Amino acid sequence: MMTSRVPAAVDALLAILRAAPALSEVAIVDGPEALNYTQLRRLYVGWQPDGEAAVSLQQEFNAAGARTRNEAFTISCYAEARAGDKDMKARRDEVFALVGEVETALRATNEAPTAPTLNGTVLWAHLTAGDLAQEQTEGSIARLAFTVTCQARI
C-alpha cells in the first residue's frame, strides 16, 4: 500500500529539471551535496541551507469511509548563482532566472503535458514561496530558497 507520493514526486521533479533544455548547464542536485565552488550555478531539490526538512507533508482522509487520503506537501529547493566578481545585480538576476526556468519546466507544454502533475505523481505542483539571500565574499553570491508545493491523492 502506498503511504505517500513524496518519493515519486521528488524523483519526478528531479527528472523534469534534468531534462529541461534551459537548465542543461546547471547542476541539478538531489538533496545536500558537498560544496563544489567550480560549479557556479546549482539547483538543489529536497534541501535548503539551514533547513530542517527536505519535504513537509500533511495528510487527511479524502471522504467518509477512509478509502483515500489527500496529501499536501512542500519540497524544499534552493538555487544559487555565484561568480568571482562583485556584480550583485547580475547574480540576483541569474538566480531568479534559474528559478524562472524551474517554474517554466513545471508548466504544461506540448512536449511535456504532464509536467504540472510531476509526470502523474501528484494532482498538481507549483512554486509557492521563496527567500532571497545575497552575499559578497570572494565574489558575489545570490541564493534563493524556494518551495514546490504539491497536492496528491493516495
Domain boundaries, the chain: 6-153
CB neighbour class for 150 (10 Å; exposed up to 12, middle 13-18, buried from 19):
buried
| pLDDT value of residue 37 | 66
The whole-number pLDDT of residue 124 equals 94
In this predicted structure, what is the pLDDT of residue 67?
79
Q: Please list the alpha-helical segments (H only) found in 20-142.
A: 88-105
Superfamily classification of domain 6-153: Phage minor tail protein U (3.30.70.1700)
Q: Inform me whether the pLDDT recorded for 66 exceeds 80.
A: no
> How many CA atoms within 13 Å lie on the side-chain side of 90?
11
What does the pLDDT look like over 11-45, one tens digit per residue? 999 999 999 999 999 999 999 877 666 778 999 99
- Span 77-86, pLDDT tens digits: 999 999 999 9
pLDDT tier, 135 (very low <50, low <70, confident <90, very high otherwise)? very high
pLDDT at res. 1: 58
Q: Are 31 and 46 in contact (CB under 8 A)?
A: yes
* pLDDT value at 51 more than 90: no
Model pLDDT, residue 123: 95
% pLDDT > 90, the chain: 78
